[in-house]
A and B are shown apart, each in its own frame.
Chain A
Amino acid sequence: MGGAVNLLAQRHPINSALSLIAVMAALAGEYLLLGAEFVAAVQVIVYAGAVMVLFVFVIMLLNAGEEEETKGSRVALLLGVPGVLIGSVLVAWVVLRSSGTETVPIGALPGPPTEIAQLLFHDFLLPFEVTSVLILIAIMGAVVLATKPDAAERKAN
């Protein structure tokens, strides 16, 4: 929670990125508590490892500095904070009202990788293949978008 608030409070993007890494590490701990060891490991490797390295890399590459206060940001602050507060209070009220005292035992569902693999490659085979195609398209799109335009033109000529 502290990390999430810090992400909003920090003005420099690199500090936000570091607090987001803290949030992801804390979430991996939550997954461990819930008995989902494999998800926790993937969370650390994929999110805290790969995705955040990508973010930090781009922040450094673009030399991102402090963000400045603008008119749009003040309007968003004035409208956004009350709206989000009202929404989250409503959701919290509904959750607390509808849920009884049922508890989630710690480590209740040992999600061993064998069972997960069975589910992933048997019952969810089609979505799995579709996501592989999605990843391929995303990689190609990223390469096309990130190449320098003049380099592409030189190649065409």
Chain B
Amino acid sequence: MVPLSYYLLLSGFLFACGVLGFLIKRNIITIFMSIELMLNGVNLSFVAFAAHWHVLAGQIFVFFVMVVAAAEAAVGLAIIIAVYRTRETLNVDQVNLLKL
């Protein structure tokens, strides 16, 4: 028997770690992984609430979040590859112009 608030705290911690990584990391791939971490934190709170209220719909939302995360990862990594081809760098500070 684990209190619901523990799950919520862990979920909030994961989300905060994701936000922090998003802010302080300069490598574009690591920034992407921070976004995945945020999505995972939200998923944990979805599942915790689904178990708490005995509603299965929460788990369905987790699947949708996973699908969106997978699509986002595919498109984002393709964008990263395209950026690397044109600029030869992965540092977001050096990618400050949309035109070449």
A residues with a Cβ closer than 8 A to B are 1, 4-5, 7-8, 13, 16-17, 20, 23-24, 27, 30-31, 33-36, 38-39, 42-43, 46-47, 50-51, 54-55, 58-59, 61-62, 64, 67-68, 70-73, 76-77, 79-81, 83-84, 87-88, 91-92, 95-96, 99, 101-106, 108-109, 111, 115-116, 119-120, 123-124, 127, 131, 134-135, 137-139, 141-143, 145-146, 148-149
Contact = CB atoms under 8 A, between A and B. Distances in A.
How big is chain B's contact interface, by range?
35 or more
A84 B47 contact: no
A54 B74 contact: yes
Contacts of B74: 54, 138-139, 142
A111 B14 CA distance: 24
A105 to B, nearest CB: 6
Interface in B19-69: 19-21, 23-27, 29-30, 32-34, 36-37, 40, 43-44, 47-48, 50-52, 54, 56-57, 59-60, 62-64, 66-69
Contacts, number: 223
Contacts of A87: 16, 19
B54 A109 contact: yes
A90 B44 CA distance: 19
Specify which of B1, B20, B34, B78 lies most central, judged by the most chain A CB atoms within 10 Å of its CB: B20
A109 B77 contact: no
Nearest to A107: B51
Interface of B: 1-5, 7-10, 12-14, 16-17, 19-21, 23-27, 29-30, 32-34, 36-37, 40, 43-44, 47-48, 50-52, 54, 56-57, 59-60, 62-64, 66-75, 77-82, 84-85, 90-93
